[in-house]
Structure 1
């Protein structure tokens, strides 16, 4: 099975590409192997998420895979920070396409015991693939040239599965999608991006970047007031809808899919707490904090 992933993407080239991107992101790109794959966030000065990306470190470039519509803003941000760096930032969203191959599908060319990032030939086209957990068990994100789409899709195992089913699977597993769940503008520690969360995307040892001071303060004090949970409820509700309890706003819900959604809520809410989301009843489950896969 496989599912199309609404995507945008950047390619960074030049002699300083790794150090430059490393200096902007929350995770440790320098420490990754080549080829390698590192999930990360790009923050504002208040430590809030502006973009989430999965960054591929390759021999000739750094490739950043983002949600749909995110590449333009990140490209503009990165270019503002180019001073003496020998780098070039290119938006390649129109040239590339991405799908997620579900766990258990036998993708030709992918080495299950290989690294997290791999390049190989599929249907006569060179493709980039990364081990990514979108359902509770790691599958493979596959990136390929748009002009080769027909041939690549014909070579994929099984049938196409709609994005709604992928969203339902990740909600059941408690995995956030920063853009689709409307979680930009929040702190990484509040939405499962911290170490030990379902989508770890932070290194506390990598050095300075925009928002790093806030991250260090949160690590030292451990005082984030919100965390990521799952909500179950019939809904529907929109991503970003207010979560309330006893007449008070206690957080925000993600995209409703399948059994409910993930949500950012105050930590004092207990397992099984009854809440309202956009006037609809829902129940809090704390299992969203489990897991370590990227």
Structure 2
């Protein structure tokens, strides 16, 4: 099964491209092979999430894959930090499209035992792909030129799935999505993007970047007050405040099939009863099994 992913993207070129992006995001792009891929976050000076990306390091460029409509804001941010850097930042959204293939072993040209990022031929079309866990089981994000879409989609294995089904699977697996869950403006440690989380997107051993001081302080003290959990309940409001006894204890994300992901206070125990926009829900703490 495969699913079209509404996306936007940036292409960064120039002699300083890797070092420049490295100095902006939480992921260790410099430590990735070529080709390689790392998840990362662009933070503000308070350490809060502005954009989530998967950054592909290639021989001649850095490709930043983002959710739909995210590229213009990130491009504007990056351009503010260009001083003497030899980089060129281009919005490639109109040129490129992306699909997610869930059964990676069925994708012709992709090596399931190979590196996380691969470039290969599919139906005579050059595609860039990365191993991405969107459903609890690693699949493949395939990036390709839009002008080749008809031929490439015809070569994909299985039937086309819905975006709604893909999100239902990720919520069940406990995998956050910064944009769809409405987690922009939070700390990455609070929503499962920390080392050991379901979607690790930070290295504590890389050099400086915007927001790095806050991240280092959180690592040293280990005092994030929130974490990622699930809420069970029917028809829960999305991206709404979670309350208990009239006190705000978190925020809910996207809802599907009786489940929502949520950023919740750590002191809430498994099975705690809360309200999401006035609708009763039950807290379900994530475990390794869930993630």
Deviation digits for residues 228-255 of structure 1, max 9, x if unmatched?
00111111412x2111112211000001
CA contact (8 A) 1:105 1:158 kept: no
Query: How many angstroms apart in 2 are the aligned matches of 1:122 and 1:148?
Result: 11
Identify unmatched segments of 5+ residues in structure 2. Answer: none
Q: Identify the residue that residue 252 of structure 1 maps to in structure 2.
A: 251
Compute the TM-score of the two structures, normalised by the length of structure 1. Answer: 0.96
1 CA distance for matches of 2:9 and 2:200? Answer: 20
Equivalent residue pairs, number = 291
Alpha-carbon separation, structure 2, partners of 1:7 and 1:290:
29
User: Which segment is superposed worse, 243-252 or 51-60?
Assistant: 243-252
Alignment partners' CA distance in 2, 1:290 and 1:86: 45
* Higher mean C-alpha displacement, 99-108 vs 1-10: 99-108
Task: Return the offset for 1:259.
Answer: 2.9
**CA RMSD for the aligned pairs?**
1.3
Q: Deviations over 1:87-111 (max 9, x none)?
A: 1000000111101001355011100
1:192 aligns with 2:192: yes
Give the whole-Å Cα distance in 1 for the aligned partners of 2:230 and 2:59.
39
- Deviations for 1:1-29, whole angstroms, at most 9, x for unmatched residues? 00111100000001110000000000111
- 1:200-211 pair list within 5 angstroms: 200-211=200-211
Of stretches 187-196 and 276-285 in structure 1, the one that deviates more from structure 2 is 276-285
What do the CA deviations read for 1:188-243 (whole angstroms, capped 9, x no partner)? 000101001100001111111110000000001111111100111111412x2111
Distance, in Å, in 2 between the alignment partners of 1:150 and 1:288 is 41
Matching residue of 2:285 = 286
TM-score scaled by length of structure 2: 0.97
How far does the alpha carbon of each residue in 1:73-127 deviate from its partner, in whole angstroms, 9 at most, with x for none? 0001111111111110000001111010013550111001110000011122110
CA contact 1:196–1:291 (8 Å) conserved in 2: no
How far residue 288 of structure 1 moved from its aligned partner, in angstroms, is: 5.9
**SS in structure 1 of the partner of residue 256 of structure 2:** coil
The answer to whether the 8 Å contact 1:168/1:258 transfers is yes
SS at match of 1:20: helix
Matched, 1:221 2:221: yes
CA–CA separation in structure 2 for the residues paired with 1:289 and 1:10: 33
**Are 2:104 and 2:140, in contact at CA under 8 Å, matched by a contact in 1?**
no
Give SS of 2:254's match: coil
Q: 2:40 is matched with which residue?
A: 40
CA distance in 1, matches of 2:287, 2:175: 7
- Residue 28 (str. 1) matches residue 28 (str. 2): yes
Secondary structure of 1:254 counterpart: strand
Paired residues for 1:39-58 under 5 Å: 39-58=39-58
CA offsets, 1:26-85, max 9 Å, x none?
011111111101000000000000000000001110000000000000001111111111
Alignment partners' CA distance in 2, 1:14 and 1:184: 29
Runs of 4+ off more than 2 Å? 288-292
